[in-house]
Structure 1
Amino acid sequence: MKRLCLCEICECGRHRCKHLPTALFTKGNQGWAVSEYNEKYPTYKNCHPPKILKPKPEIKCNYGPMEGTTTFRSHFIPYEVSPRPEIKRPKYQPSPGVIDFGSTYKQEFGPYQLQPVLPFRPKERKRGTDVKADTLPTYKDHFRQWAITRQEPHTPKMSFPIPTAKYQNTTTYHDEFIPLGLVPCESFKPSNIPKLSDVPFEGVTSNQLHYIPHPLNVHFVKAPHEFKPSDQPFQNFTSHRHDYQGLPGQMPKSCKPEHVAISQDTPFQSSTEFRDRFLPWPVTPIQVHKTPEYKSPTERMDLRTTTGTNFLKHQIQPFIPARPPYRPVCSSHPFEGTTTTKEDFKAWKGERQETIRQPSAIQLPSGKMEDVSTFKSHYIQHQLQPTVSCKPLPAPQCSKVPMDEETTYRTQFTPKKISMCPASMDPMPGFVFEKVDDRGHRLFRELSSQEQKSTSARNAGF
């Protein structure tokens, strides 16, 4: 018998078995899984695994009524508590007699008669005389001012006579260097005279001379291919629709509550819990305090103050300033506005000097402008010849040979038969389900030819 898994039978690659997380522990009361550890280290006969002392997590449920007693209520014994006795204190009675305010300081330290302390500083003796003080210092007495004579200058006398004539404002450059006229320079630039030619322009190119037009063949126009629709109907089934079919089930019920129509004939209940429980209390109005009216006093107001009554004004002489009085210096003579600067340095009569211009060597024309340019005077107009286009005519390239309608897709493509995956069928043809492996693999047994014939006959008779 050959057993195959669902993963091995699948041809499309979309059917797989659900693997379990581990296969070390088998299901049911089967033996231990074979491993390398069990083969090398066999078990001992007399040794048993140690017993687990941990209690089993069993929940003891008591469905009777719960007692309201606790350990504090059961063990606590109340004692008789008596009130604490009060302590009677005697009443305060003041002692008879007079209080003695004497202290040890007053008894041991008696007062002594003290005399005032005499100062050790000698008395200040003032020596005053009626003679006027001499305010002349020793500096003024010993150091007298000498009579200083003016020292004559040691500079030599100037032998240059000062000119009395007016300044001419000329320099040696103006006197010795006489301006000369401009010398005309000869120009080495060639004359701008166009060179004219009497020979007409030849509009012939190498393309026009050597190009030979060749005749073109007639372009073959292919007739359009007529579209023929397919006779077979279109199969709109996909692999998802074919393989994954929905399971039969009931339609989901809506969790939305049923709509109950509210009748509008019933009157609206305007009473609420707040209106029923919270009733208005009787409130007394607030008494408004009336302010007494203002009455102005009838007697006259005394506006005197303590300063005006107690502090009298004394006649005090004003303070005389120690600064000497300001005496303006006035003179009846007119003010002389002449100074040494005005007398020695008198203003000259300044005239603006004319600009020194050199005579121009170019003589400007005086007549009217002719308004004729060199282009107008020398340009000769020629007749234009149209250029011949060397571009070939857009003639269609036609061919009488028919076009081959064969392509690489038509020649090399071979249609393949669409086959269904046997793992998607239920029941699977040619296989019988046996069991599920420890790792989660679904194992199928392949039927023989006789078993397949018997199963097919059963299905046909059914």
Structure 2
Amino acid sequence: MREVNDYRAWDLHKSELYKPEQTYHPPTVKFGNSTTFQDDFVPQEIKPRQSFKPSSVVKRSTAPFNGITSHRLDYIPHQLELKFERPKEVYKPTDQRFEDLTTHRYDFQGLTGETAKICRPVHTRVTQNARFEGSTEFRESFQPWEIPPPEVKKVPEYVPPKGSMLLNSTSHLDYVPYQANRVVPIRPVSRRRSNSFPFQGKSTMKEDFPAWESCHQGLIKKQQQIPNPSGKFDGLSTFRSHYVQHELIPTESCKPLNIAFKSSVPFDDVTVYSVEYTPKKQEICPASYPFPPGYIFENTNSQVHKFFCKITPTVKAF
């Protein structure tokens, strides 16, 4: 019973936090320093380039149409020849009678011959009373024979060839270089039109889309307002100049001391187990009886295990 005396439950209160409460207040003043991107890249208005593409609107002519076209000027009317008309033939029915025979029926009238004979063997039905002879086709055709052991082939010893190796191949010895003539292309002669007037060198593309000079647009960079320092760097950074060092205050530990609690009150010899425990009657296992009371024998299995069924008490009706 030493466990109850040494380990007793005591009331533990939740420790309070000694950390000062810090509530974040966002700054009300706008951030004054500008970034490198804001200093170097100033937004400028993008001016659209002037398009030199001709408009797709159809320009209508103000002059009246005179009714002259290229077809009317270049078309030469030709006189058509008279069309030859074939006289229509008059249908005359034949005097011969229709035989109702086709070329196949007339030429292939069939030949008389004997009927085909059946080459199938006669089916002999095996009766159940017939005795099996004890020999099969596999036993008669495939007789066991002795298999001789495999012969071990002797590997001849390698004898290196005498003399030095000639590094000449058949192609090097038999091939004779010869001068090949160039194959003349078998393409037809191009018939070009011989124009006596000189080439003007003008096209619709050159007239509508003239070439203009284009130059690479340089980097748009704003002039630096803050001048670069001219003196020597003294090794003092912003963090070192503005940082204020504070003394560290260690946090007080609220953990209880690891000391055994001793009480001067005498032990009353009362535990939860001794107060709440109720002794129960020990029952005898029914398997120790040859015929257990309150059970009826049912059957025995193959492993000679007996099975019993519990007797349920009968309830009398009112």
TM-score range, shorter chain: under 0.3
Q: Which has the higher contact order (CA 8 A, sep 6+)?
A: 1
- For the pair shown, the structure with the greater C-alpha radius of gyration is 1
